[in-house]
Structure 1
Amino acid sequence: MESSRDRLEERLQRLAARAEEEKVFSRLYVEPARAAADAADARRRAGVTLGPLDGAIVSVKDLFDVAGEPTLAGSLMRRDVRPAEADAVVVARLRRAGAVIIGKTAMTEFAFTAIGDNPHYGTPGNAADAARIPGGSSSGAGVSVAEGTSDVAIGSDTGGSVRIPAALNGVVGFKPTARRVPLDGAFPLSPTLDSIGPLARTVAECAAADAIMAGEEFRHLQPVDLSGVRIGIPRGALFAHTEATVADAFDHSLRKLTLTGMAVADVAIDDLLIEMKKATKRASIAAMEGAEIHADWLAAGAATAVDPHVSEPLARAASVPAPVYMRALRRRRELMAAMDERLSGLDALVLPTVPILAPTIAAMAADEAARDRAEGLLLRNTQVANQFDLCAISLPMPGTDLPSSLMLVGRHGHDSRLLAIAAAVETLLTA
């Protein structure tokens, strides 16, 4: 079995060879990673293990605190902030579990957009085609796993920022129920909607990372018997404007699922989606909470130093009165309860993670209207899990030249059940 140190060195060599044009990683921890890999190898020789990620090469998004350095969150504005005094909770837990933290991955500025571009530090090219967008906001995370420089990457997900880059790069991405994983030490976008989740090659690796970050005892993931699983397909608005290639791959995957004896039925949720849209008509919860987090530089007129795709929606949201925000939160709680009741007879929803294949970086830069349309489509399906506080996982679908993925969405708090179902679906799709 190849040692952790050997695996690490192979990745460091690959990264060193492209150092002058590096866009996937914003920072590397070469010597600390070597020390962690050597320690993992020593434990293995002694017959000791710290768990399923002992010796695994793990990257973390550039919004997680690492002691002794400023947390940039993809922005030039944070280069001179006070260095973090301690690691983020999830980083500390991963270290204690023996993970080899190789570095921090690139992200969109302040984790705000879904395209994956960053005008300050550069845009990582998609792992399947470097001319295409990586998806955001955890852009470097998705690319690092897909290209094999990370075994597991840790991202954040406020409207799909783990699952979108996972889908576009062809890897697995898991968004847990909000607040299951502590947010301490993670630069926020929206405390109400933010979740921390892993990206990896397999559901099992995601489940292992999730358990460690949630502070739960790891149990070997046991795929369920799909013949006893009840799946709902939310036909309607979430299937509109789906590219033919994605729709065909989804239909093919769905046929494979139905052959297992899984109970599959259409389920209507468009009425709840409409009500949520009404509740956030003035501004999204993420934008309103983000406007409060960034109020100082918005008030100081420093928006010109920030990507306008970030600063402009935040500035608009800053003018929304507090009662509008409070009503949106109250209405959201009511709609969360209604969604939970609607899903009470199901184990999960299934739908395409995103309805489009990754467009080119050049096309997004050349046409603002096309960029806005693409971003809306990228976020449309994934944001449902955040808005209604559900758990969700993105799995690659076979049969497309560029990566495409289906998403399983589980009820609030049913994370373990969803991961077990996902493990069985993964086996079926990769057979």
Structure 2
Amino acid sequence: MTATRDRLEVILARLKARAGDERVFAKLYGEAARAAADATDARVRAGLTLGPLDGVIVSIKDLFDVAGEPTLAGSVMRRATAPAQVDALVVKRLRRAGAVIIGKTHMTEFAFTALGLNPHYGTPPNAADPTLIPGGSSSGAGVSAAEGSSDISVGSDTGGSVRVPAALNGVVGFKPTARRIPLDGAFPLSPSLDSIGPLARSVAQCIAADAVMAGKEHFVLPPLSMSGLRIAVPRGRLLDSVEAGVAASFDRALQQLAAAGATITECRVDDLLADLRVATRTGTIAAIEGAAIHADWLANGASTPVDANVSGALGRAMQVPAVSYIRTMNRRAELVAAMDARLSAFDFVVLPTTPVTAQPIAELLADGAHADRIEGLLLRNTQVANQFDLTALSLPMPGSARPAGLMLMARNGHDRRLLSAGLAVETLLADA
């Protein structure tokens, strides 16, 4: 078995070779990573281990605090902020588990927008094709996991920010039930919707990372038998405007699930989606809560440039009255309960993670209206899990010309069962 330090040095050498055009990592922790790798190797020689993450190379999104440095969150503005006093809680837990934290990955500014573009620090190149968007907001995390510069990447997911880059780069991305993993030390976007989740090349790696970040003992999950499972396909709005290649891959995946013994049933959720659109017509929850976080510079003017797509959306949300926000949140609670009741007849919901694959960066930069349309499509399916307080997993779905994802969603708190199902579906898709 290759020593952890040896594996780390190979990766660091690759990153050094492209240092003049580094767009995946915002910062590297070379010496600290070497020390952690050496500690793992010493434990191995002594016949000791801290668990399944011991010696695993991990990257973290640039919104997690690391003691002694400001947390940039993809923004130039935050360069002048005070250094973090302590590591984010998930970073502490990863270190205690023996993870080798190699660096911080780039992201979209303030974790807003799903395309993965960042006008300040550059856009991470999609791992499958550098001319394509990586997806966001955990853009560098998706590329890092896919290109192998980390074994596991840690991101955040407010409307799909783990699952979108996972799908577009061809890796696994897991969004746990909100608040299951503590947000302490993570720069917020929308406290009501934010989740912290891993991206990796296998479900097993996501399971190991999830357990550590949630502060749980490592648990071994068997693949869930597909026999007799009730899997819902929400025909309607969520399956509109799907690229032909993605649609074909999705249909094949449904056939595989059925052949493995699952019962595929159509369900309808368009009425609940429409009700939520009505409830948020004055402003989305993410934008309103984000505006509250950024209220000072929105009111007084930014000291440095801010991505216009971010400042525009947050500025508009600043105008939403408090009474509208309170009513929105009350209505959302009702709709979350209604969705939970609707899905109680099923084990899982299955959808394409995104109805479209990664699009050319140049085309989106050249046409704002086209970029807005693509962003809406990228978020359309994933944001259902955040808005209705579900848990969700994106798996690489073979068969399309560009990477695409198959998303499994489950009810609030059914994380382990969802991951167990993910193990089984991952094998089914790979065997095909």
TM-score by length of 2: 0.99
**Structure 2 counterpart of 1:12:** 12
Aligned to 2:210: 210
Moved over 2 A (4+): none
The letter for the 1-side match of 2:307 is: D
What corresponds to 2:63 in structure 1? 63
After superposition, residues 295-374 of structure 1 pair within 5 angstroms as 295-302=295-302, 305-374=305-374
Provide the residue aligned with 1:98 in structure 2.
98
Deviation readout 1:283-323 (Å, 9 max, x if unpaired): 10000000000000001122871000000010000000000
Cα separation, 2, equivalents of 1:52 and 1:36: 15
Query: 1:317-349 CA distances to partner (integer Å, 9 max, x unpaired)?
Result: 000000000001000000000000001121110
Long gaps (5+) in structure 2: none
Q: Which amino acid aligns with 1:155?
A: G
Letter in 2 for 1:99: A
Identical-residue share of aligned pairs (%): 67
Gaps of 5+ in 1: none
Distance 2:48 2:401 in 1: 42
**Contact 1:303–1:311 (CA under 8 A) maintained in structure 2:** no
Write out per-residue CA displacement over residues 169-208 of structure 1, whole angstroms, 9 at most, x where no aligned residue: 0000000000000000000000000000000000010011
Contact 2:77 2:303 in 1 (8 A): no
Q: How much has 1:401 moved relative to structure 2? A: 2.2
- Residue 41 of structure 1 is matched in structure 2 by 41
Residue 284 of structure 2 corresponds to 284
Counterparts of 1:89 and 1:262, CA distance in 2: 39
Name 2:256's counterpart in structure 1.
256
What corresponds to 2:398 in structure 1? 398
What are the equivalent positions in structure 2 for 1:76-225 lying under 5 Å apart? 76-225=76-225
Separation in 1 of the partners of 2:153 and 2:303? 30
Partner residue in 2 for 1:226: 226
Cα RMSD (Å) of the superposition? 0.7
Check conservation: 2:76, 2:304, Cα contact below 8 A.
no
Q: Name the TM-score, length of structure 1 as normaliser.
A: 0.99
SS of 1:325's equivalent in the other structure is helix
Deviation readout 1:6-65 (Å, 9 max, x if unpaired): 110000000000001000000000000000000011111111111111100000000000
Deviations 1:98-153 (A, max 9, x none): 00000000000000010000000000110000000000000000000100001000
Aligned letter for 1:401?
A
* Aligned-partner Cα distance in 2 for 1:245–1:397: 11
Measured in 2, the distance between the counterparts of 1:311 and 1:222 equals 46
When the two structures are aligned, how many residues end up with a matched partner? 431
Q: Write out per-residue CA displacement over residues 240-275 of structure 1, whole angstroms, 9 at most, x where no aligned residue.
A: 000101000100111111001111100111110000
Equivalent positions of 1:374-413 (< 5 A) are 374-413=374-413
Contact kept in structure 1, 2:77 and 2:304, CA below 8 Å = no
Q: Is the 8 A contact 2:95 2:101 kept in 1?
A: yes
The CA distance in 2 between the partners of 1:126 and 1:21, in whole Å, is: 14
Classify the secondary structure of the residue corresponding to 2:394. Answer: strand
